[in-house]
Structure 1
Amino acid sequence: MSFKLFFFILLIFVFVGSIETKTSRLKRAAPVWPDNFKVSFVFSLPEVPENQPMTVFHDKANNRERIDYYNGLATDIQRGDENPTNIYQVRVAQDKQICYHDSGVVILELTQVLPDLSQWVYTGKTVRRGQKVDSFQWIDYYPDYNKTNIYKFYTIEGSDYPVQFWMMGYDNVFGSHYDEYILNYYDYIPDGSVESDFESPTVCDNSEKTTVVNSGLRLKLGNIFPNVKASNKKEFNNFINKFGKSYPSHSEMLKRQTIFYKNHDYITNFNKENSHMKLAINHFADLTDEEYKKFYLLPTRTVVPDFTNKVYERPANEEIPDSWDWRDHGASPPVKDQAACGSCWAHSVIGSIESQYYLATGVMPDLSEQMVMDCTWNTTVQDLSNQGCQGGDEPGTFEAIKDIGGIMREQDYPYLGVDGYCGFEKDKVVAQIESYTNVNNIQEDVMSAVYNQGVLSIAIDAAHTSFKFYSSGVYYEPECSSTELDHAVLLSGFGKTTDGEQYWIVRNSWSVNWGDQGYVKMSMKDNNCGVETEVVYPTLARGFDY
């Protein structure tokens, strides 16, 4: 059935191609991109509602590159000519620019923003964005996953000037599309990158050396083009196809293949030796543990519960059920994806506010994590250490939101995955915070709080390979700390296995590709991984028009 549908899809594109041509189809050579160029484009992603403008200055001969994100809101400058590991990142912090400088041990690859068209098929002439263009096409079929990816690239008719890259992924079983990516190019200048484009900004003159984090968009760009995918290793090829991975060079593919098999062996051995939970390959499988911690976790902090604030009081003689899951009652927000930005703290805070909003109104809102990241640096809250993608503090952030004046919707302040200038608009506030409440780090109190108050904001220790690849079962890690915590998540409920083992139901912010559709069951034994250590929830302001 799926095989027939695949050929049906191919016939559709043959038909579309015949319509596109309309004139005699004259064979033309595919463009070959120069080693030096400048190009701007707008990047459209399926999971991000806003288009993402980017400009790339590319100098392959000297192994250097500059990427401006969001019209210069953030900048990466890679200086492989100085050192193969040298990169500067300019970001916004506290409404001013700061610079991070890394010259570590990781050799950096230049980002691919124009695909290698040497094997693509010329399909004729058509019109795109109001211009006559030449069309090139590539099709990838993944029979193991019943998926087909159709790629098209358009250049101005008779020239090598890029106009648009388009990719559509199809599910061959259901005939529906699962992904669509569009890059609309403009301001393409061959040999357009000059020496001054790669000079480090003055804000970097006194920058301290630190470990920098790849932009989520930069990582995404490396995965959409059908470039270096071929491998003679079946498991690695399956991983590449399932998660849409692509690498800018053969050497990078071999590097990621080695990392993949190290992780693959760990997962295989773990599953043989453990029956209480299972691990599985996910989108982290080509990352080292160090990269995983750098891209997705917060700096480890020793958490000492602060009960000087309002503390939850468990009702007397309360009877709590053996299991409770807010997903079954509509109050657990949909799983989101923080991407390669350490904004888990903002996702945890926003998720708990969304839950409170639902309990108050019966409507699940989509509130803005980006607003929290951008606007909670400068507040009157004492000892608040929020740093956007570099981490933050969940309890104090509730107070900061109260101090600012409320929270906006995602559609009015969309998630970017990089730090930005605060764009708070008071007239677009849809929820306000009156206060927040701490919960005693006592198991029964935490159970009572999540049962009575909705989804709770918590912090955990997630810096373990077993957590990185969790898939199912009840998670228990003997090496987990209950006080050294590095990741913020949401507590959505609790349950008990048929063997009587109690567990917490925890929602993550690493997309539905991680864990059990974005969730993990975490053992209640000995406060494993610190689920009960730092537990807070907000109270919405009374008198506000919800």
Structure 2
Amino acid sequence: MFATWCLIVSISCLTSVIAKDVVHFDKWLDEQGISADSVDYETWKANLEYVEMHNRGGHSFTVTMNKFAHLTPKDLIKEVNIVRHQHTGDDHVVVDQVPPESVDWRTKGVVTPVRNEGKQESSHSFSAADAISSYIAINGGKLVEGSALEITDCCHYHPCSGRFVENAFKCVHDIGGLCAAAGYHREHECACNNATCTPFGTVNGSRMVPKDNEQALEIAVAQQPVQVFVDANNPSFMMYKSGVYYEPNCTTTRLDHSMLVVGYGKASTGEEYWIVKNSWGANWGMHGYIQMAKNKNNNCGIASQADYPY
């Protein structure tokens, strides 16, 4: 009798858990506007279990069942985006200066709105275009949303392959400047069509921040937003919600995603962070931004390959 009762209770509890997950799943589908037919439920459930476990773990950041919760990091971060460290510009000479304690270029009105790269899968084009827009605005020009699509079409080794450009800033100089996002249009898939738009500005090339040097990165960011490459191939990054992101499973060499550092600061708990603009839409992270751990041994490769236009 007792064994039978235990079995009945166990089945009842299991049924309750399954029902709860199904309700959560249906609600998530509705919120994200995604069809159940296009979702692997087991992947979604594994991510749900990860989110619940992580948020109970006392970490410096939280994660959430966002629009990517039905994917694995490998689904989202494509292998073709892996960046090998290379010299892509002039060395940045660190001068003897003390940068301010905190910087946020957004408060100066020189950072364009967060965008969503969607299926273009070319984060480098977005971070480069945004870096150029900020550089021009800081140096007396008007803040204009630069065309990431133009960089994708006109600067990639093989347009539409997803492979990053070797030096987007030098390429923009070579093609005569960058057009506004609203002014550049494709006529043919992955073919450069910038002859039909007028550039809003240009740059001379790029300068590199010394490899793995967060102090040098801080000095550079105090002057202007800086493009960085990071290891984003972790569920914690994919489903990041808020807080200071520190991921011990990150590498500093396997860099597969590009973003724009627009400042830095310190949390009330004392944790230092970089203010980083992503290109996954304003409904990801902190309104499209992530606070990445600063001065934590170059976590996720934030300073492994950083450069900026001049």
Normalising by the smaller structure, the TM-score range is 0.7 to 0.9
Which among 447, 450, 456 is matched to residue 221 of structure 2? 450
Distance in 2 between residues matched to 1:257 and 1:538, nearest whole Å: 44
1:406 aligns with 2:177: yes
Distance in 1 between residues matched to 2:24 and 2:182, nearest whole Å: 39
Aligned to 1:390: 162
Question: In 2, are the aligned partners of 1:506 and 1:521 still within 8 Å (CA)?
Answer: yes
Aligned to 2:150: 371
RMSD: 2.3
Question: In 2, are the aligned partners of 1:504 and 1:523 still within 8 Å (CA)?
Answer: yes
| Cα shift at 1:232 | 8.3
Distance in 2 between residues matched to 1:298 and 1:352, nearest whole Å: 22
Q: TM-score, normalised by structure 2?
A: 0.86
Q: Which has the higher contact order (CA 8 A, sep 6+)?
A: 2
Alignment of structure 1 residues 178-197 onto 2, 5 Å: none
CA gap of 1:372–1:455, structure 2 versus 1, over 3 A, is: same
Distance in 2 between residues matched to 1:415 and 1:502, nearest whole Å: 42
| Cα shift at 1:419 | 4.7
Which among 1, 14, 22 is matched to residue 233 of structure 1? 22
Aligned to 2:82: 300
1:461 aligns with 2:231: yes
CA gap of 1:445–1:245, structure 2 versus 1, over 3 A, is: same
Query: May I ask how many residue pairs the two structures share in their alignment?
Result: 289
Q: Looking at secondary structure, tell me which structure has more strand per residue.
A: 1
- Paired-residue identity, %: 28
1:344 aligns with 2:84: no
Gaps of 5+ in 1: 1-230, 378-384, 540-546
Aligned to 1:312: 92
Question: In 2, are the aligned partners of 1:374 and 1:420 still within 8 Å (CA)?
Answer: yes
Distance in 2 between residues matched to 1:482 and 1:504, nearest whole Å: 16
Question: In 2, are the aligned partners of 1:405 and 1:426 still within 8 Å (CA)?
Answer: no
Aligned to 1:274: 58
Distance in 1 between residues matched to 2:185 and 2:190, nearest whole Å: 11
**What amino acid maps onto 1:310 in structure 2?**
D
**What amino acid maps onto 1:518 in structure 2?**
G
Q: Secondary structure at the match of 2:144?
A: coil
- Between Structure 1 and Structure 2, whose CA radius of gyration is higher? 1
Q: TM-score, normalised by structure 1?
A: 0.50
Aligned to 1:526: 297
Alignment of structure 1 residues 38-49 onto 2, 5 Å: none
Alignment of structure 1 residues 56-455 onto 2, 5 Å: 233-247=22-36, 252=37, 255-294=39-78, 298-304=80-86, 306=87, 309-316=89-96, 318-361=97-140, 363-377=142-156, 385=157, 387-393=159-165, 396-414=167-185, 419-425=189-195, 428-441=198-211, 442-452=213-223, 454-455=224-225
Distance in 1 between residues matched to 2:141 and 2:178, nearest whole Å: 18
Distance in 2 between residues matched to 1:344 and 1:419, nearest whole Å: 18
| Cα shift at 1:360 | 2.1
CA gap of 1:258–1:414, structure 2 versus 1, over 3 A, is: farther
Q: Looking at secondary structure, tell me which structure has more helix per residue.
A: 2
Question: In 1, are the aligned partners of 2:104 and 2:263 still within 8 Å (CA)?
Answer: yes
CA gap of 1:367–1:389, structure 2 versus 1, over 3 A, is: farther
Q: Secondary structure at the match of 1:401?
A: helix
Aligned to 2:270: 500
| Cα shift at 1:414 | 4.4
CA gap of 1:415–1:461, structure 2 versus 1, over 3 A, is: farther
Distance in 2 between residues matched to 1:386 and 1:530, nearest whole Å: 26
| Cα shift at 1:361 | 2.9
**What amino acid maps onto 1:283 in structure 2?**
K
**What amino acid maps onto 2:279 in structure 1?**
S
Question: In 2, are the aligned partners of 1:456 and 1:535 still within 8 Å (CA)?
Answer: yes
CA gap of 1:516–1:386, structure 2 versus 1, over 3 A, is: farther
Gaps of 5+ in 2: 1-19
Question: In 1, are the aligned partners of 2:127 and 2:260 still within 8 Å (CA)?
Answer: yes
CA gap of 1:359–1:413, structure 2 versus 1, over 3 A, is: same
Q: Secondary structure at the match of 1:266?
A: helix
| Cα shift at 1:280 | 0.6
